[in-house]
Amino acid sequence: MTTKGDAIKVSILKALQDAEEPIGASRIAEKLYSMGLSVRPRTVRFYLLQLDNEGLTHRVSRRRGRTLTEKGKEELAHANVLDKIGFIAAKVDTLGYRMNFNLRKGEGTIIANVGVINKRDLGRAFLAMGPVFEAKLAMSDRMFLAEGGEKIGSLVIRQNMVCIATVCSVTLNGILLSERIPVVSRFGGLLEIRNGQPARFVELIEYGGTTVDPLEAFIRAGMTRTTECALSGNGIVGASFREVPSAALDAVMRIHKMMTQRGLGGMLAIGKPNRPLMDIPVADGRAGIVVIGGLNAMAAIHEAGIDVELRSLACLADYSLFRPLPEVVAMAHNRRIFRR
């Protein structure tokens, strides 16, 4: 069966394409894992050797690793269409890699989710979001607003609409990555909260096997109870399950603290090396973490019966644009975007 090896080769090419600089087998193996393909670095080297011979990859230097050759890029262009359908996992990885936030300084770009609503609903939307932020059910208690006519990412906002942006939970992947901690996103799901504590996942969708953001689907399907959770401490909210290398756990804890100081939260639970977390087992040498959904504030808006057009993983945005809710409310008022 030549098929299996070929699949690995194609994936290696893909991993190399995503990287802008030469990378080695270990890094490639990591990328493959986050694409749902478990292979050891040695195996990657084994196939890289063949790819070199076929002229699809090129060994830049013994230390720096490989790059794609022109021929390799071409080859990839012909490859499997399904791979291009754009499973969410790939998008998550790419954005996490492209963002650029300096945790120590608290500045730089982060990843944003956006929701577009009608201007007239803005007041009610603010009311819905408040409790979610207060209950720390979002990545951050900051957000920002864009008005009709403005442009955010590639999205142009229509007249009479406003766009609300919140911090996406994938931002966490980017922050950890900048500390050289690779994060693998495994599931998006619905997390049951009891007495303010995460209890268990009630539904799961694997990131590797979906083209839609699971949390977005759950929210649109009306399966969340975010507001209820924010007010009473019991409910169902969006959350995701990710894995980090066990060796990096200390660093993760440390970063968690720093993030909290910067107004960024989001890690609901951190597991122990090789131990299941919330009944979900992890790969060898890894530990699980449960991350709150960045869309939860939008979920509350949706639950309030307001028509909201969701777009998760929307774009990169500068963190300085994001302000605490009261400030945003005041600003909206001054600019007469809405009246109380």
Partner DNA sequence: TGATAAAACGGCAAACATGCCGTATTCAGT
Partner DNA sequence: ACTGAATACGGCATGTTTGCCGTTTTATCA
Residue 220 binds which of its own copies, DNA, none (CB < 5-8 A, kind-dependent): its own copies
Site string for DNA, 64-103 (x = CB under 7 A): xxx-------------------------------------
d(C-alpha 129, C-alpha 138), whole Å:
10
Residue 211 binds which of its own copies, DNA, none (CB < 5-8 A, kind-dependent): its own copies
Taking contact as CB under 7 A, which single stretch among the options 60-68, 117-125, 136-144, 246-254 is the one that binds DNA? 60-68
One residue of 10, 19, 39, 269 binding DNA per CB under 7 A: 39
Residue 336 binds which of DNA, its own copies, none (CB < 5-8 A, kind-dependent): none
Of 289, 286, 198, 192, nearest to 242 (Cα)? 289
The residue among 147 and 203 lying less far from its own copies, judged by its C-beta, is: 203
d(C-alpha 29, C-alpha 43), whole Å:
9
Classify residue 106 as exposed, middle or buried by CB count within 10 Å of its CB (0-12, 13-18, 19+): middle
Residues that bind its own copies (CB under 8 A): 1, 3, 80-82, 85, 189, 201, 203-206, 208-212, 216-218, 220-223, 276, 279-281, 284
Question: By CB under 7 A, what part of segment 155-184 binds DNA?
Answer: 180
Taking contact as CB under 7 A, which single stretch among the options 47-55, 90-98, 238-246, 250-258 is the one that binds DNA? 47-55
Residue 107 and residue 320 in contact, taking contact as beta carbons nearer than 8 Å:
yes
Q: Please identify which residue in the block is written with the tokens 């009311």.
A: 127
Asked if 42 touches DNA (CB under 7 A), the answer is: yes
The separation between CA 298 and the C-alpha centre of its own chain, rounded to angstroms, equals 16
Residue 13 and residue 66 in contact, taking contact as beta carbons nearer than 8 Å:
no
Residue 208 binds which of DNA, its own copies, none (CB < 5-8 A, kind-dependent): its own copies
Assigned token pair, 22: 């030469």
Residue 18 and residue 31 in contact, taking contact as beta carbons nearer than 8 Å:
yes
